[in-house]
Amino acid sequence: MKKNILLGAIAMTLLACNHNPLLDQPNTPYGVPAFDQIKLEHYMPAFEAAIAEQKAEVEAIVNNPDEPTFENTIVALDRTGLLLERVAGVFFNVLEADGNDEMNAIAEQVSPMMSELSDGIILNDALFQRVKFVYDQREQLGLNPEQMRLVTETYKSFADNGANLPEDKKERLKQINQELGLLSLKFGNNVVAETNACQRFVTNEEELKGLPESAKAAAAEEAKAAGHPGEWLFTPKRTSFTPVLQYCENRELRKQLLMDYTTRANHDNENDNKAVIIREMELRIEKAQLFGYDNPADYILADCMAKDHQTVDAFLQSVWAPSLEAAKREAAALQELLEQDYPGEKLQPWDWWYYAEKLRKAKYALDEEELKPYFELSNVRKGAFGVATKLYGLQFEQLTNMPVYNPDVEVFKVTDAEGDLVGILYTDYFPRAGKRPGAWMNNILPQYIDAEGVDHRPVIINVGNFNKPTAGNPSLLSMDDVETLFHEFGHALHGLMSKAHYKSLSGTNTPRDFVELPSQFMENYCYDPEVLKTYAFHYQTGEVIPDELIEKINNAGKFNQGFVTTELLSASILDMNFHELTSAEGLDVNAFEAQSLKQMGMIDEIIVRYRPTFYNHIFTTGYEAGYYSYTWAAVLDADAFAAFKETGDLFDAETAKRFRHLLEQGGTRDAQELYLEFRGKEADPNNLLRRKGFIE
């Protein structure tokens, strides 16, 4: 044990001489990472030194001759790994947002190292016995609620991850965890590779009839950058193919692009993910059964609000039935429109968006292209910031000359009404070859209070894949993009406003079926008339969005919700079906998906939002048996927003104060307890069904 400590000290000394910016205390504003100084060669030495340091910190707790106490064991353990948090916070954020082959190779080396470290801590019996000693005495220690939560969650993290297993099962668990980590990396890399490799060029502009000029300009710039000037390039990235699905008259092109998107990593080539999925499921089932559970879903859900798969299944079915009926009515209406163009033919998935857009124009006189000029990216972001100012008194100041990992990244200082620092927010909104699809929020540095009582404020990042500015236009967002920006900003607020003492309980460290509440709550504000008038300015004229357009947006608010909800719920049910398996023997991924969709009654006109081979949420990012949480949290967010509406003021100060308190608590309290404290009663699911127009 002393040898490990000595090696860690030697590594730190050598690296200090080489001035590794990941290990040196950064001489940067607000202590943010020195992205401008970090090079590829810094990552592996930094991981090695940081892992050695955490091992030494843990060994010091284990070897403490004093009787275990809350401070010398539970708090001491929470304070380990701060250097590793910094190194990993930088590396994995850059990997996801601006990665390359060299970083992928580093990740493949680091993943088993991180897994070995985690298992070495969780499966250290001497450490667990100290934790258990404190846990068993917890009622006699006079702990406050947050301290009690830390003791309980620390004990559970050991017990739920194998500390009580016999030695042979502990060894097998280590092997499973290491292999799962590598499989997760492989799955994500395959999706990125397939997305980047698929390029569909159009050489005749006539084939793009109906496509907005802005979308054609973006496709032309993509083609030029790819060495095909005078052509138009479309890829499986949503910003590229979505306008085609919505507006392009070319039915065959719509079909090709949707198939490009929905068949990624499912082509029996080197990037095929079917075998990866089968192996992941084999290991997840084996892992769950090591802990005495029949299936991965029940093992995973034990620490969530839902608790078990029966509760989730019943919940999903309660929303699925009205959603599917609404989708069937919508399909019938779209079929009538299709008949006018293609008599006798059946509506297909690649027709839905196109004819839905036509119907929206006919029914509500709402053309999304008419709205886009009012949704310039920086203005939309200011609108989201403005909501946070009105609700919570937060102020946002853009910081220039800050170290960033890519020129597209922008940085903001966030302060409260008294001028005190709340945190630092990075935004990175444009697609690039090394960025994984989608949008997300992450910590770069967590919030916590150290032993000297210093409150370390968080560094948070919001990442997206919105339209990049072209030579003639700024970045103009679709309605879906606007909602996404507000959504991820809601996650950012959850992280920024954290007021926890302990990093393992701060910010978004909450149950997965609760963590989407703050993000989805923010979506309620993006199209509120009062809010729209603060950010929706025409990018050319500066004109504020007219009242008639706002009225159209609100009138169309319930339009196409059957499709939206059915697409989402089918992915949630598919996720649960995978993770309710008790064996993966003979699993055929495509056949399993088809059977699942048949059992749920999915209509042929809609494709599930995420098909298995590119379902990053459940095979790479830790949402396995958890995609339902978006709908679970939607019940909470609709009910929380109703609390504001009931006051007659969407920015009611007292209600906002209670909701801010909920956000500040992070994971320091039971999620259900926090919500009941805010609302005074259980969430009413009818608020969600009413919002979607499924019930009166």
- The DSSP-derived string for 590-621 is HHHHHHHHHHHT--TT---SS-GGG-HHHHTS
**What is the distance between the alpha carbons of residues 29 and 645, in angstroms, rounded to a whole number?**
40
> Tokens 């509440």 label which residue?
517
- pLDDT score of 25 more than 90: no
Sheet of strand 410-415, all strands in order from the earlier edge strand to the far edge: 395-399, 410-415, 421-428, 459-463, 440-445
**What is the distance between the alpha carbons of residues 503 and 450, in angstroms, rounded to a whole number?**
9
Residue 386: band (very low, low, confident or very high) from pLDDT cuts 50, 70, 90: very high
**What is the distance between the alpha carbons of residues 477 and 485, in angstroms, rounded to a whole number?**
10
**What is the distance between the alpha carbons of residues 22 and 86, in angstroms, rounded to a whole number?**
8
Residue 696: band (very low, low, confident or very high) from pLDDT cuts 50, 70, 90: confident
**pLDDT tens, residue by residue, 171-181:** 999 999 999 99
Tokens representing 588 are 């055929």
One-character DSSP codes across 307-372: -SHHHHHHHHHHHHHHHHHHHHHHHHHHHHHHHHHSTTPPP-HHHHHHHHHHHHHHHH---HHHHG
Give the type of residue at 671: A
- CA distance to 197, 227, 354, per residue, from 230 (Å): 20, 10, 26
Give pLDDT, residue 80. Answer: 98
Mean pLDDT taken over the chain? 95
**pLDDT tens, residue by residue, 413-445:** 999 999 999 999 999 999 999 999 899 999 999
Where on the phi/psi map is residue 488: left (φ > 0), alpha (ψ -120 to 50), or beta?
alpha
CA angle 137, 138, 140 (to 5 degrees): 75
411, containing H or E segment: strand 410-415
- pLDDT score of 193 more than 50: yes
Tokens representing 480 are 């879906």
Beta pairing partners, 234:
200
Please compute the mean of the pLDDT values over residues 187-201 and round it to a whole number: 96
**pLDDT tens, residue by residue, 515-554:** 999 999 999 999 999 999 999 999 999 999 999 999 999 9
One-character DSSP codes across 144-205: -HHHHHHHHHHHHHHHTTTTTS-HHHHHHHHHHHHHHHHHHHHHHHHHHHHHHH--EEE--G
**What is the distance between the alpha carbons of residues 495 and 425, in angstroms, rounded to a whole number?**
10
Give pLDDT, residue 18. Answer: 66
Tokens representing 134 are 């404190």
- Active-site hit among 96, 376, 488, 605: 488
- 3-class DSSP assignment, residue 528: coil
With CA atoms as reference, report the closest residue to 416 among 395, 447, 388: 395
- CA distance to 189, 340, 472, per residue, from 208 (Å): 31, 20, 19
**What is the distance between the alpha carbons of residues 497 and 423, in angstroms, rounded to a whole number?**
8
For the chain, which residues make up each domain, given as ranges? 2-164, 198-262, 294-366+562-619, 375-542+629-691
Contact 680, 667 (CB under 8 A): no
Helix axes 479-496, 512-523, angle to 10 degrees: 120
- Indicate if 330 belongs to the active site: no
DSSP state of 418: T
What pTM did the predictor assign? 0.90
**What is the distance between the alpha carbons of residues 137 and 139, in angstroms, rounded to a whole number?**
6
Where on the phi/psi map is residue 492: left (φ > 0), alpha (ψ -120 to 50), or beta?
alpha
Residue 461 has φ and ψ, to the nearest 5°, of -130, 140
**pLDDT tens, residue by residue, 618-642:** 999 889 999 999 999 999 999 999 9
CATH number of 2-164: 1.10.1370.40
**pLDDT tens, residue by residue, 647-685:** 999 999 999 999 999 999 999 999 999 999 999 999 999
- pLDDT score of 398 more than 80: yes
Tokens representing 559 are 């339009």
**What is the distance between the alpha carbons of residues 550 and 54, in angstroms, rounded to a whole number?**
54
Residue 166 has a CB neighbour count (10 Å cut-off) of 9
User: CA 374, 380, 382, 388 torsion: positive or negative?
Assistant: positive
Contact 543, 378 (CB under 8 A): no
> Tokens 């993966």 label which residue?
584
Give pLDDT, residue 19. Answer: 85
Give pLDDT, residue 15. Answer: 43
CATH top-level class of 375-542+629-691: mainly alpha
For residue 265, give every residue at least 6 positions away whose Cβ sits within 8 Å of its Cβ, in sequence order, or none. 187, 190, 191, 194, 271, 272, 273, 613, 614
- Matching CATH topology for 2-164 and 375-542+629-691? yes
**pLDDT tens, residue by residue, 486-496:** 999 999 999 99
Give pLDDT, residue 695. Answer: 87
